[in-house]
């Protein structure tokens, strides 16, 4: 089934006429009624964060795993429960204002597009989608329908990242010519699909978990929970996991669009799991914060990052496990991931930074309150009080960039050229990986 048919069937499911339910006209004093799709794992954290906002009413919960669903229900006894998000959206279309999508990546777009088609505001976990065409479609639909949207990259709203953005945009290191970013995490898998058909536990609806993805035989612990990240039909590897968080600040600070070329130096593809180590080099067109071109190098997997002069710290200090380094005309800015202040390095020495002069006040080190900001920004945007800082218009470009690196992993060592206008690679053989086909389920 293609996406158009998928949405058509969503539209017939929901017979209610078009009524914009969120935005500037949201009635004063009314609570935002949220529906949560995926309430285990990160979905549980998302649920707690939204529930802590005084203007939120949790009205619907959906999970394909009854253990996760029952646990969420025990905390929100008044919410209605579902295992199929299509049924949730159909039956509760008039009783919800916003939908939170916290499922594995392959279900982000199918669930979010259906919710947006029904004029709901959507908070969708990162990476925005599993394919580039889905990311573009999400941004287009949000724009066309003028919906409040936010991607779940909560560190986007943390003090240190906002500060790094302001520092870079203030020109503290001049025009930036290169960014190096890294994570030693490994969401790769060099194995084959499970051969034996294993019984699906009674608490899991495997068909609904697979959703629009190709049929796979179930194996305990192999996909659900969490390990789907390693597999190309469901996740986006380490780039889609840590990459999105660590890319976000340089991407935002430098006001980047999508890259012109992409090269991934990794092992040959096996058609099933992602590479264990990726070194991705992107070249971006210039912006007002960069030199003529910007080179961006991403390293992941054990041993990341590879040694490089740009990554040498004063007194040969050890690099943080994950982070990003901006190289500029006047020095470099080091941004450890996370809850660490950015550090300015000039001529191989750390420089004092008067961080409070950037208007953000004193540094905040409280994860609990910091992480709520991003969620609250979404709620308050739905209530017409502010705007989201990671709407789908932004999130789709960032996700497209991430996914270009993932696709380049299918062609190790080869430089791919991306035509952003046509949404096509010059290298025709890569174009088959831009979209996704949907299984009827
Ligand atoms: N922003 C962050 O810091 C952060 C951290 C972790 C995960 N994430 C993102 O959150 C999402 C979920 O990751 P996770 O680690 O929690 O995965 P997980 O596999 O641990 O949990 C996913 C939950 O969704 C449920 N689910 C799966 N398919 C569903 C469907 N079709 N309908 C309803 N429920 C469904 C599962 O049963 C499970 O409860 C991913 O997109 C991931 O990238 C974000």
**Which H, E and C letters describe 207-229, residue by residue?**
HHHHCCCCCCCCCCCCCCCCHHH
207 lines ligand 1 (CB under 6 A): no
Of 273, 127, 269, 138, nearest in space to 193 by CA: 273
46 lines ligand 1 (CB under 6 A): no
Q: Which residue bears the tokens 């590879």? A: 306
What is d(CA 1, CA 233) in angstroms, rounded to the nearest whole number? Answer: 16
Residue 80 CB contacts under 8 Å (≥ 6 apart), including other chains: 59, 60, 61, 88, 91, 92
Largest CA distance in the chain: 66
273 lines ligand 1 (CB under 6 A): no
| Cβ atoms within 10 Å, residue 127 | 30
**pLDDT of the residue at 195:** 86
Phi, psi dihedrals of residue 177, rounded to the nearest 5°: -110, -20
65 lines ligand 1 (CB under 6 A): yes
Q: How far is CA 39 from CA 1, 103, 189, 389, in A?
A: 27, 8, 26, 24
* Ligand 1, atom nearest to 108 Cα: 41
* Ligand 1, atom nearest to 154 Cα: 1
Contact 238, 247 (CB under 8 A): no
**pLDDT of the residue at 21:** 45
Pairing outcome for strands 323-328 and 424-425:
unpaired
What is d(CA 386, CA 324) in angstroms, rounded to the nearest whole number? Answer: 29
152 lines ligand 1 (CB under 6 A): yes
Contact 79, 58 (CB under 8 A): yes
DSSP class of 242 = I
**CATH topology (fold) of 3-156+374-392:** Rossmann fold (3.40.50)
Q: Does domain 158-189+233-364+399-433 fall into CATH 1.10.3720.10?
A: no
pLDDT tens string 102-117:
999 999 999 999 999 9
Exposure on the CB side of residue 108, measured as CA atoms within 13 A = 34
223 lines ligand 1 (CB under 6 A): no
Task: Please give the distance, rounded to the nearest whole angstrom, from the Cα atom of residue 68 to the centre of ligand 1.
Answer: 11
DSSP 3-state assignment of 109? Answer: helix
63 lines ligand 1 (CB under 6 A): yes
**pLDDT of the residue at 143:** 97
Would you write out the chain's pLDDT as a tens digit for each of its 441 residues? 555 566 555 444 443 333 444 444 678 889 999 999 999 999 999 999 999 999 999 999 999 999 999 999 999 999 999 999 999 999 999 999 999 999 999 999 999 999 999 999 999 999 999 999 999 999 999 999 999 999 999 999 999 999 999 999 999 999 999 999 999 999 999 999 998 888 999 999 999 999 999 999 999 999 999 999 999 999 999 999 999 999 999 999 999 999 999 999 999 999 999 999 999 999 999 999 999 999 999 999 999 999 999 999 999 999 999 999 999 999 999 999 988 999 999 999 999 999 999 999 999 999 889 999 999 999 999 999 999 999 999 999 999 999 999 999 999 999 999 999 999 999 999 999 999 999 999
DSSP class of 67 = H
Phi, psi dihedrals of residue 136, rounded to the nearest 5°: -65, -40
Long-range interactions of 334-339: CB distance < 8 A, separation 24+: 335/160, 335/161, 335/164, 335/249, 335/250, 337/155, 337/183, 337/242, 337/245, 337/246, 338/155, 338/158, 338/160, 338/161, 338/245, 339/158, 339/160, 339/365, 339/367, 339/370
Task: Please give the distance, rounded to the nearest whole angstrom, from the Cα atom of residue 50 to the centre of ligand 1.
Answer: 16
Residue ranges per domain, the chain?
Answer: 3-156+374-392, 158-189+233-364+399-433
The model carries a pTM of: 0.95
Q: Is 335 left (phi over 0), alpha (psi -120 to 50) or beta?
A: beta
pLDDT tens string 191-227:
999 988 889 999 999 999 999 999 999 999 999 999 9
């Amino acid at each position: 089934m293609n996406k158009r048919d998928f949405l058509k069937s969503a539209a017939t499911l929901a017979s209610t006429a078009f009524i914009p339910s969120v935005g500037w006209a949201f009635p004063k004093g009314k609570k935002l009624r949220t529906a949560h799709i995926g309430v285990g794992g990160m979905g549980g954290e998302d649920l707690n964060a939204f529930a802590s906002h005084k203007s939120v009413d949790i009205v619907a919960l959906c999970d394909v795993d009854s253990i996760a669903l029952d646990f969420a229900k025990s905390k929100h006894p008044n919410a209605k429960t579902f295992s199929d998000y299509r049924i949730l959206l159909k039956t509760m279309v008039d009783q919800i204002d916003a939908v939170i999508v916290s499922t594995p990546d392959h279900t982000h777009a199918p669930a979010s597009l259906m919710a947006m088609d029904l004029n709901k505001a959507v908070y969708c976990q990162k990476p925005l989608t599993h394919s580039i065409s889905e990311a573009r479609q999400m941004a287009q639909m949000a724009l066309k329908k003028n919906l409040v949207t936010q991607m779940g990259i909560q560190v986007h709203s943390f003090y240190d990242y906002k500060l790094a953005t302001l520092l870079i945009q203030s020109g503290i290191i001049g025009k930036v010519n290169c960014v190096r970013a890294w994570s030693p995490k490994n969401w790769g898998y060099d194995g084959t699909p499970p051969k034996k058909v294993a019984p699906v536990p009674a608490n899991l609806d495997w068909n609904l978990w697979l959703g629009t993805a190709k049929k796979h035989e179930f194996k305990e612990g192999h996909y659900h929970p969490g390990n789907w990240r390693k597999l190309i039909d469901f996740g986006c590897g380490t780039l889609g996991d840590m990459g999105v968080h660590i890319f976000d600040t340089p991407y935002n600070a430098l006001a980047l669009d999508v890259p012109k070329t992409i090269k991934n130096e990794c092992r040959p593809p096996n058609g099933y799991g992602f590479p264990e180590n990726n070194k991705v080099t992107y070249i971006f067109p210039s912006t007002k914060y960069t030199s003529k071109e910007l080179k961006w190098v991403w390293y992941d997997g054990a041993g990341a990052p590879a040694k490089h002069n740009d990554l040498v710290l004063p007194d040969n200090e050890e690099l943080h496990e994950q982070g990003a380094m901006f190289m500029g005309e006047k020095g470099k800015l080091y941004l450890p991931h996370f809850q660490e202040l950015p550090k300015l390095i000039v001529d191989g020495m750390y420089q004092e930074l008067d961080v409070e002069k950037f208007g953000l006040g004193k540094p905040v080190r409280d994860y609990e309150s910091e992480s709520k900001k991003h969620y609250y920004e979404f709620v308050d945007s739905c209530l017409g009080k502010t705007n989201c800082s990671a709407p789908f218009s932004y999130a789709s470009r960032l996700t497209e960039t991430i996914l270009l690196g993932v696709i380049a992993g299918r062609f190790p060592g080869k430089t791919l050229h991306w035509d952003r206008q046509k949404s096509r690679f010059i290298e025709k053989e890569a174009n088959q990986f831009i979209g996704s086909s949907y299984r009827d389920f």
